[in-house]
Amino acid sequence: MMEANSFQLFPDQASSIASHVDALYAFLVLVSAFFSLLIAFLIVYLVVKYRHRPELGPPVAQHTNDHGPGSMILEIVWTVIPLGLSMIMFAWGVSIYFTESRPPADSMEIYVTGKQWMWKIQHMEGAREINELHVPINRDIKLTMTSEDVIHDFYIPAFRTKSDVLPGKYTTEWFKPTKLGAYHIFCAEYCGTKHSGMIGTVYVLSETDYNTWLGAGSGEGSMAEQGQSLFNQLGCGNCHPSVVNNQNGRCPNLVGLFGTRVQLKDGSNVRADESYVRESVLYPQAKIVAGYDDIMPTFKGLITEDGMLKLIEYIKSLGTKNGTMTTATPLPVETSASPQPSTHAAAPGKTAPRTAQTPALQPQRIQ
């Protein structure tokens, strides 16, 4: 716990990976310490052993480049041992790196948006928080993160995990908290004058406490439901069918899209992941789906990063390649609405910067 008042060299080991990271670190320190001491000892020992003695007279210069036959065994020993040690460090490090960079498939998803200088967190169920992150213990948690401005880095020392948070891109980070308590969140990438103040707290709760906390949430509906409202407000449903077996020929049906591979007009294909959805909303011309025309206008400036994450959750809720359907109900297609692209731009409402207290249903310009 961060309130601990005793002196601590290391943060708590509060996640499943923490002890592994610390073990590797301890190994590196021990190997370095051993060789540092060995070399220091040899320097002193050899200086004393081969010191100049007055009874030997003045030193005699050795006029030869012949250092003798050398020792093959010595050469092999001091090559193979360091090689072996560095290979152990390499394999061990890679194994931890791969574990940390691959979130387990059934992870609970939470969204993080970095902004000068705060962390905005959204839970799938709709709860939102700023500079605080509540998580249940003993669950795999996957953070999907992006930035509204510059590069930040989401770092939880007690979980031994950190990852850059980049504008225009989604990065992930996962952990499994194993110890109840409150732990520091830091921004670990210099991001401007108040970088050092871009901190927060992660609260690890029991499953029951977490559900109670979630239940006391915003009452704005799940992220997918909020995404559906946004989908309506932006007029996406005027063109994109979001019910099964509805095809209007103008815009791709979004049901079951997420996670599939999409065939593009130029013959290539792309996986429909978070980044693809984001790009398609902001830069619709970038990847045109095979069989469709370049008619979609950009929504750049009409949707915040938080709103984008809600839209993505809504599209995920329309089904994934695994056929899982989640909370949101499919949207009926408004067949009477005008299909003209100009309807897309009808919605933007200028409102105050969003906080945990203000409703998020209005599309807003990025501040």
Residue indicated by tokens 């010191």? 51
CA dihedral 40, 43, 47, 48 (to 10 degrees): 40
CA-to-CA dists, residue 196 to 10, 12, 114, 131, angstroms: 20, 21, 14, 13
Interface pick for ligand CUA out of 123, 152, 278, 354 (rule CB under 6 A): 152
- Minimum distance of ligand CUA from residue 197's CB (angstroms): 9
Q: Which is nearer to ligand CUA, 156 or 251 (CB)?
A: 156
Kindly write out the interface string for residues 182-221 of this chain, putting x where it contacts ligand CUA by CB under 6 A and - elsewhere: -----x-xxx---x--x-----------------------
How many Å apart are CA 310 and CA 361, to the nearest integer?
A: 10
- Minimum distance of ligand CUA from residue 187's CB (angstroms): 3
Handedness of CA 334, 338, 342, 347 (dihedral sign): negative
Q: Which is nearer to ligand CUA, 152 or 344 (CB)?
A: 152
How many Å apart are CA 277 and CA 220, to the nearest integer?
A: 23
Around Cβ 246, how many Cβ atoms within 10 Å? 14
Asked if omega into 117 is within 30° of 0 (cis), the reply is yes
Q: Which is nearer to ligand CUA, 34 or 190 (CB)?
A: 190
- Minimum distance of ligand CUA from residue 118's CB (angstroms): 9
Q: Give residues 34-93 in contact with ligand CUA (rule: CB under 6 A).
A: none
Q: Which is nearer to ligand CUA, 152 or 176 (CB)?
A: 152
Please name which of 324, 99, 84, 110 lies closest in space to residue 214, comparing C-alpha atoms: 110
- Minimum distance of ligand CUA from residue 116's CB (angstroms): 7
How many Å apart are CA 53 and CA 43, to the nearest integer?
A: 18
Q: Which is nearer to ligand CUA, 133 or 328 (CB)?
A: 133
- Minimum distance of ligand CUA from residue 365's CB (angstroms): 22
Sheet strands side by side (includes 128-130): 128-130, 118-123, 108-115, 141-147, 171-175
Q: Which is nearer to ligand CUA, 195 or 354 (CB)?
A: 195
Binding footprint of ligand CUA, residue count (CB under 6 A): 9
- Minimum distance of ligand CUA from residue 164's CB (angstroms): 10
Q: Which is nearer to ligand CUA, 152 or 240 (CB)?
A: 152
- Minimum distance of ligand CUA from residue 115's CB (angstroms): 8
Residues making contact with ligand CUA (CB under 6 A) = 114, 117, 152, 187, 189-191, 195, 198
